[in-house]
């Protein structure tokens, strides 16, 4: 039985690494695609990443998933897809570049729309 637990643990770590890697690559691709299509002083790419990630996490939390699937999809993929640190760094960059109004807008819109997206995802997931 000890070997089965070890194999399951190793497989979980591998799954987290793979799903986390896919989430990080997805963030990179979405950020670049949005930023290229919507060039702006506002950090549109990471904004879209974080709002869609909030929606996805809200959706996943409402679904009846097992603990392994929840960890792989929610913690690993969505956790690596979304980014608090880049959001804060971009917000500080806006402030430092003399664009305090855009920095505040980034915070307010991200929080308001992120919460709304998570709630919408959770509502939708509860109906699936």
Annotated binding site for Na(+), which residues?
79, 82
6 membership: H or E segment, kind and range: helix 2-37
Give the annotated binding-site residues. Answer: 79, 82
Q: Any residues with CB less than 8 A from the CB of 114 and at least 6 apart, and which?
A: 50, 51, 54
Q: At what angle do helices 100-126 and 84-96 cross, to 10 degrees?
A: 160
């Amino acid at each position: 039985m000890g070997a089965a637990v070890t194999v399951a643990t190793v497989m979980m770590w591998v799954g987290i690494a793979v799903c986390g890697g896919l989430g990080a690559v997805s963030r990179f691709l979405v950020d670049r695609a949005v930023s290229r299509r919507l060039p702006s002083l506002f950090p549109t790419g990471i904004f879209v990443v974080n709002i869609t990630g909030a929606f996805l996490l809200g959706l996943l939390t409402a679904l009846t998933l097992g603990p392994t699937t929840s960890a792989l999809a929610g913690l690993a993929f969505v956790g690596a897809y979304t980014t608090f640190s880049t959001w804060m760094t971009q917000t500080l960059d806006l402030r430092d570049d003399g664009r305090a109004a855009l920095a505040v807008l980034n915070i307010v819109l991200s929080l308001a729309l992120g919460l709304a997206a998570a709630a919408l995802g959770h509502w939708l997931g509860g109906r699936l």
